[in-house]
Amino acid sequence: MPPEKHVFRAGDSPGQGSMHQQGGKTVFRADGGKSEKRARKEPAPEKAPAPHREPAPRAPKPRPAKPQKAPAPARAASPWPARRRKNRAPLIVLGSLLALLVVCLAGWALDVPGRLAGLTLPGGSSSSATVQEGKDWPAMVGDRLVSEKPEKVVSLSPMVTEALLSLPGHEALCAVTEYCDTRSTGLATVGTPLLPRTEDIIALAPDYVLCQTPLAGPVQTELEQAGVEVIQLDTPADLAGLREFYGQLGALLGGNETGRALGYGVIDRLESTLAAYNAALPDKASALLLPDLTGLAATADTAEWTLLGQVFRHPLPDAADWLAGAECLTDEDAENDLDQIRAADPDVLLVANTVSPEDLSAALGDLRAVQNGAVVYVDLRLTETLSPRLVFAIADAAALAYPEFAPAS
């Protein structure tokens, strides 16, 4: 049997009262001592006297009030605001450092290394915009008014094919030429730009045939009699023309407003990357583009130089219409005339990827670019079509010409 528990209530005096059993406990109950003591301690309230009532045989004892603590000083009573104020100075310093870091990173992103490190393909899958069908029709494309988005399009131009493949909605492209980009592999081929196979085109029943070179009269007539419309686009000669070229093809696929903006955006992204080089390169290195080893080289007035000229200077700025082009094409001598290229001696060479390093070294091994390994092999279809993807070859060539701007590996 557990021992008895004696419980004394607060304020009870053990000297007066009696012991009682309550709930299995022995409880000491005072005989009025506590009440008399509280009556002596508490002053009478300053109120009007209450009406006289007969006292109850036994008044219940009031619960003792909890003792009130003395108010603590203000700092101890609410320490958090003061503590926050005390720690605010380190936070301000940390915030300032973070802001400075953000500014530095923003400046670094505008520099060439940042541009190269984050280089992505302009247009194509990198474009986040979507074509909104039924919003922008009819649309002007070339000299034609297109009433709605075409379901099938045939390209008779490698440049048109390159542009279409860089734009949303390029699924409408159903046939290309034999000279078009390998990314179009799997599509039907319908001959060459100058000699298209009209019967194959008509069998595909396209809405439009796109070209840059005017079609021969009989070809044009046969297509039109079969209900196939032909749209001829001007060949761009500079970045402004290239931007308009992509804008018109964007309008064909996505409408006069939405699609045109998508086309412009592809070239705008390319131009901003090239502009970053221009801003960072006070002295440009010289470069030459060689399609082969016959003595040909792109001059500063060619379409192929349109993009390269944003990053490099031409070693022979007065040369026009391709270096030694006419002589080399008619020269029957087995020895190619490469004297002008040797005299130019550029800092960087961009050479067609059909030329082997061994052949280049044998023909032009005395050039500084060859001796220093400053050679970039390029798919010439990118230069011939002024493809935005040419920016990758330009970046490679710039890394060789300007090692101080090359991204860290």
Interval 75-99 mean pLDDT = 44
3-state secondary structure of 29: strand
What pLDDT was estimated at residue 270? 92
Tell me which of 278 and 214 has the higher pLDDT.
Answer: 214
Q: pLDDT tens, 150-174?
A: 999 999 999 999 999 999 999 999 9
Q: Quick one: residue 292, left, alpha or beta (phi over 0 = left, psi -120 to 50 = alpha)? A: beta
CA distance 33 to 185: 109
Confidence of residue 5 (pLDDT cuts 50, 70, 90): very low
Cite the beta strand spans of 220-355 per DSSP E: 229-232, 287-290, 348-352
Statement: residue 217 has pLDDT above 90: yes
Token pair in block for residue 27: 């409880």
Tell me which of 14 and 113 has the higher pLDDT.
Answer: 14
% pLDDT > 70, the chain: 62
Interval 379-388 mean pLDDT = 91
Tell me which of 185 and 10 has the higher pLDDT.
Answer: 185
> Within 42-170, where are the H helices?
74-77, 79-109, 112-117, 158-165
Structural contact between residues 59 and 42, judged by C-beta atoms closer than 8 angstroms: no
Which stretch, 120-129, 323-332, 395-404, has highest mean pLDDT?
395-404
CA distance 221 to 234: 20
CA distance 406 to 408: 6
> Which helix H or strand E contains 22, and what residues bound it?
strand 18-22
Amino acid at 52: H
3-state secondary structure of 55: coil
Statement: residue 57 has pLDDT above 80: no
What pLDDT was estimated at residue 251? 96
What pLDDT was estimated at residue 406? 59
Min mean pLDDT across 75-89, 226-240, 319-333, 380-394 is at 75-89
CA distance 14 to 30: 8
Q: pLDDT tens, 275-315?
A: 888 888 878 999 999 999 988 999 999 988 989 999 999 99
What pLDDT was estimated at residue 4? 47
CA distance 312 to 376: 14
CA distance 348 to 366: 13
Confidence of residue 80 (pLDDT cuts 50, 70, 90): very low
Confidence of residue 336 (pLDDT cuts 50, 70, 90): low
Statement: residue 333 has pLDDT above 70: no
What pLDDT was estimated at residue 276? 86
Interval 40-58 mean pLDDT = 50
Min mean pLDDT across 8-17, 109-118, 204-213, 261-270 is at 109-118
Computed over every residue of the chain, the mean pLDDT equals 75
Tell me which of 123 and 255 has the higher pLDDT.
Answer: 255
Q: pLDDT tens, 109-124?
A: 333 334 434 444 443 3
